[in-house]
Structure 1
């Protein structure tokens, strides 16, 4: 068995693009070749991030495509993983392929599987997910988070300001303080997991750097205050390479449970709507029931469930 990137052979990329859609994959089917080529043209897929497993005759048995932003030095996430249906142990082969990629990257990017909400009831789809989860786990992606992906469109409308909160711009130092305070008692699993191995201040700096690096503008960010000037929360409208995004939002612990999250989310939605966005996406963990309920009230619709497989801190 040989593991190689599309850099190793000019024909390797064409063979990877021609990988067959074997088995009952549904939402896990390979991306269309034209979409893959678009991602390569945008520098979000790259030959060195495109790995394949080949037998002695040069037949591609498995393919892995990692994704990153156009300016990423290393891939951000595993986007696509397929193994031919006639491979006896797909999890073992896929795990070995992921391991080869991870060794080359010097990191273990997470794997995000986009699935319908009822995927567990579909026996064929559940089986296709099962060997991928096993492969990811063997390759060190042992932590799992399930997230709901939401989408807002103009047909849902926007809520008018109520005056309960006042939004203003702020300095990086003020936003750092807000990030710190919002992390306390957070129901977001990624935040809670990160705080197992880092401080609130370090995590706040990582969050600020992450959102500054996203396609959205720093000038979009707003601090939320009560009319008397008390800090209430944070609104960070953002964007992906494809569309507008809710980004980061929250309410400080001492003011949670008063419905203020609805005000913060409405501010972000109004901001994107005023810019002419025809779609705004958002995600939240399935266990974060208050945030999910806020999205529901704001007219956001669940479009898929995202199963996130990632390495634990230090993994």
Structure 2
């Protein structure tokens, strides 16, 4: 068996990226995703494409932020690992989006296992599994509970203070990873950076309060480069236990629908069962699942 040849793509060779089977349905998942041709790479063995990966960010970002398309043929785990190891960009995360219920399909399980093995050999370890949701008008708007008041707030420091409180006790795996690296302050600031990274208006951000003025949490109606999304839902620890996250999600949905959203994307960790229940109650169906792998510190 010959060694794999790793090849970066350009406009003239972009067709090679499509020369593999697509068992996990990435092509449909990323039908609205725009990739730079030079941020896509393939591994070839004897002229056949045996692995491919696409790095993604906004068009204006100088470097990619995440690998969100990663395919590896069975038995080609080392070629897939080499594809990631030799990339000029060392992104922290690999995302593998899979059909809902993939564990019940042996073919899909093998495909996931192959990609997981390749990512592991390249220095990535499992971080979290997530539910991906997609609300459309056909799902219907959830009824507003009417328990809270939602106001804009121009001062980032107010949002940062609430994020510190929200992340002081959290089930979110990405926030917990940030806390391990740099404490609650890092987790809060990274979250705020994501809010600013979104191309939607800053004026959309909302703080939720009780009628008496006590802060409850925040919700961030947003657009990412693919469309409308629930950017963030968070309730401060002392206000939990009342189901307020549903109120925030409902208000976020109404806000985005009122701004013409034809769909609203959202996600939550599989381990965050309270938030998953709120999405179900609000009429958000699970459309896919996501497995995230994070770079080992020594990679």
Q: TM-score, normalised by structure 1?
A: 0.86
Which deviates the most, 108-117 or 236-245? 108-117
Name the residue aligned to 2:7.
4
Name the residue aligned to 2:258.
274
Distance 1:193 1:147 in 2: 15
Q: Is contact 2:54-2:68 (8 Å) kept?
A: yes
Name the residue aligned to 2:57.
68
Distance 1:51 1:231 in 2: 47
SS in 2 for 1:196: helix
- Once the two structures are TM-superposed, the CA of residue 202 in structure 1 deviates from its matched residue by 2.3
Distance 1:5 1:271 in 2: 42
Are residues 288 and 67 of structure 1, via their aligned partners in 2, closer, same or farther at CA, if it must alter by over 3 Å? same
Q: Is contact 1:108-1:140 (8 Å) kept?
A: no
Q: Is contact 2:23-2:111 (8 Å) kept?
A: no
Name the residue aligned to 1:221.
205
Q: Is contact 1:142-1:309 (8 Å) kept?
A: yes
**1:92 paired to 2:82:** no
Alignment of 1:122-141 (within 5 A): 122-141=105-124
Are residues 201 and 128 of structure 1, via their aligned partners in 2, closer, same or farther at CA, if it must alter by over 3 Å? same
* 1:42-84 Cα distance to aligned partner (Å, 9 max, x none): xx422331112234x6554432222221112211222323345
- Once the two structures are TM-superposed, the CA of residue 203 in structure 1 deviates from its matched residue by 2.0
Name the residue aligned to 1:286.
270
Q: Is contact 1:19-1:63 (8 Å) kept?
A: no
- Once the two structures are TM-superposed, the CA of residue 312 in structure 1 deviates from its matched residue by 4.6
Q: Which runs of 4+ in 1 moved over 6 A?
A: none
Distance 2:272 2:73 in 1: 37
Distance 1:90 1:48 in 2: 23
Q: Is contact 2:141-2:253 (8 Å) kept?
A: yes
Are residues 117 and 281 of structure 1, via their aligned partners in 2, closer, same or farther at CA, if it must alter by over 3 Å? same
Residue segments in structure 1 that go unaligned for 5+ positions in a row: none
Name the residue aligned to 1:27.
24
Name the residue aligned to 1:208.
192
**1:239 paired to 2:223:** yes
Q: 1:143 is matched with which residue: 110, 126, 140? A: 126
Q: TM-score, normalised by structure 2?
A: 0.90
* 1:208-255 Cα distance to aligned partner (Å, 9 max, x none): 111111122211001111111111100111112222101101111011
Q: 1:115 is matched with which residue: 84, 98, 102? A: 98
- After superposition, the CA RMSD in angstroms is 2.2
- Once the two structures are TM-superposed, the CA of residue 160 in structure 1 deviates from its matched residue by 4.4
Distance 1:122 1:67 in 2: 28
Are residues 47 and 26 of structure 1, via their aligned partners in 2, closer, same or farther at CA, if it must alter by over 3 Å? closer
Distance 1:18 1:73 in 2: 25
